[in-house]
Amino acid sequence: KAGVTQTPRYLIKTRGQQVTLSCSPISGHRSVSWYQQTPGQGLQFLFEYFSETQRNKGNFPGRFSGRQFSNSRSEMNVSTLELGDSALYLCASSLASGNIQYFGAGTRLSVL
Amino acid sequence: GQQLNQSPQSMFIQEGEDVSMNCTSSSIFNTWLWYKQDPGEGPVLLIALYKAGELTSNGRLTAQFGITRKDSFLNISASIPSDVGIYFCAGQLLGTGNQFYFGTGTSLTVIP
């Protein structure tokens, strides 16, 4: 069974641009959560989607948004990029909301 | 958001030594998870704990769900070089919409 797949693995953007990250969950998993990981802040929860609906949201500005499709694949979008958005963005999937989460390898975003 | 205090922040040990790390919170958790993250990769689940007092092993790894439900411990016996990485605890808080909260990580270096 394939694991959680995140694309792309690496991204370089400049300030003010926007970016879209993609996550394909483990087959059969319907919940997808997104996290931002930085050396100073650790893993910070962004949001969780289950059955195409946002269930939980972390404390991030509105520039960070996401969505989930009917096949459970999820995308995360960051608009008007700032230097501080440089981080490893991790996606985790679970069978249902509240179940154990399995992580993808992440997308490393660098904002110049 | 909830804070999970994970300690120590980093450890440098000789190969063959045993390792102990812990995670504490001021809140009661109903699930504790331990993950390991290798450089450039996403966290990989090591052990899941569901009941207070539960002791679970996975090879040389042993984790315990604290009796007070506010802490958890991870022990690694007879460390080997491939144990190098960052270990994260994660807790699921009762009544919070099933969100998981992560500790800040323990960086482990094993000296051959």
pLDDT tens readout for residues B11-28: 999 999 999 999 999 888
* Alpha-carbon span A110 to A64, nearest angstrom: 16
Distances (CA, A) of B43 to A29, A102, B76: 18, 8, 17
Neighbouring CB atoms inside 10 A of B87's CB total: 24
Which residues of chain A make contact with B58, given a CB cutoff of 8 A? none
pLDDT digits (tens, 9 = 90+) for B93-103: 866 667 788 99
Looking at residue B3, what is its pLDDT? 72
Most A CBs within 10 A among B89, B99, B106, B107, hence the mutation to make, goes to B99
Looking at residue B97, what is its pLDDT? 64
Looking at residue B100, what is its pLDDT? 87
* Alpha-carbon span B8 to B89, nearest angstrom: 12
pLDDT band for position A39 (50/70/90)?
Answer: confident
Q: Which residues contact A47 (CB under 8 A, 6 or more apart)?
A: A33, A34, A54, A56, A57, A58, A60, A64, A66
Give me chain B's average pLDDT, please.
Answer: 92
Q: What 3 state SS string does A68-101 have?
A: ECCCCCEEEEECCCCHHHCEEEEEEEECCCCCCC
Residue A43 has pLDDT above 70, yes or no: yes
Q: What 3 state SS string does A9-75 have?
A: CEEEECCCCCEEEEEECCCCCCEEEEEEEECCCEEEEEEEEECCEEEEECCCCCCEEEEECCCCCEE
DSSP state at residue B82: G
pLDDT digits (tens, 9 = 90+) for A61-107: 999 999 999 999 999 999 999 999 999 999 999 998 888 999 999 99
φ, ψ of residue B104 to 5 degrees: the values are -85, -5
Whether residue B105 and residue A42 make contact (CB cut-off 8 A), yes or no, is yes
Q: Is B89 on the interface with A (CB under 8 A)?
A: no
Whether residue B45 and residue A102 make contact (CB cut-off 8 A), yes or no, is yes
Which residues of chain B make contact with A102, given a CB cutoff of 8 A? 45
Q: Estimate to the nearest angstrom the gap between the alpha carbon of A19 and the chain centroid.
A: 11
List residues of A whose CB lies inside 8 A of any B CB. Answer: 4, 6, 33, 35, 42-43, 45, 48, 55-56, 58-59, 90, 92, 97-98, 100-106, 108
CA atoms within 13 A on the CB side of A6: 27
Q: Which of A33, A42, A100 sits opposite B104 (nearest CB)?
A: A42
Looking at residue A36, what is its pLDDT? 95
